[in-house]
């Protein structure tokens, strides 16, 4: 292993550590909410928004990305082709989770809105 590979692996592992840190902070509902629903919401929407599912979604995605970059770091060191399959599965899994959880959050929000309208 040459110096360039080692530097690359260290940089990737540091990035993975940062992603895990952000993921845990999001799961603990601490800090800025890194979620498009929150970022693009108006001030009025933010006041009435239930942030818990968005924190959870962001936390899980950041942890999956941290795991992905950990595997990328190991691939940089080991050069084992089987790790590429794991990288692909983690990348696809993160995207699928983000899409499916967004749909579920929106469905729950619509269901809660409908039930609150019926109660009135």
At residue 52, φ and ψ (nearest 5 deg) are: -55, -50
Q: State pLDDT tens for residues 41-92.
A: 999 999 999 999 999 999 999 999 999 999 999 999 999 999 999 999 999 9
Q: Looking at residues 13-39, what average pLDDT do you find?
A: 97
- What sign does the CA torsion over 109, 110, 111, 113 have? positive
Q: Which residue has the tokens 């509902």?
A: 29
Average pLDDT over all residues of the chain: 94
Contact 72, 4 (CB under 8 A): no
What is the model's pTM? Answer: 0.91
**pLDDT value at residue 112:** 82
pLDDT of 1 > 90? The answer is no
């Amino acid at each position: 292993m040459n110096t360039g590979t080692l530097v690359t692996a260290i940089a990737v592992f540091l990035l993975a550590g940062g992603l895990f840190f952000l993921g845990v902070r999001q799961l603990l509902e601490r800090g800025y909410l890194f979620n498009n629903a929150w970022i693009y919401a108006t001030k009025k929407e933010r006041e009435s928004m239930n942030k818990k599912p968005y924190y959870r979604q962001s936390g899980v995605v950041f942890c999956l990305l941290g795991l992905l970059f950990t595997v990328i770091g190991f691939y940089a060191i080991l050069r084992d082709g089987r790790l590429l399959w794991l990288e692909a599965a983690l990348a696809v899994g993160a995207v699928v989770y983000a899409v499916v959880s967004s749909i579920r959050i929106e469905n729950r929000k619509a269901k809660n809105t409908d039930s609150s309208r019926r109660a009135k």
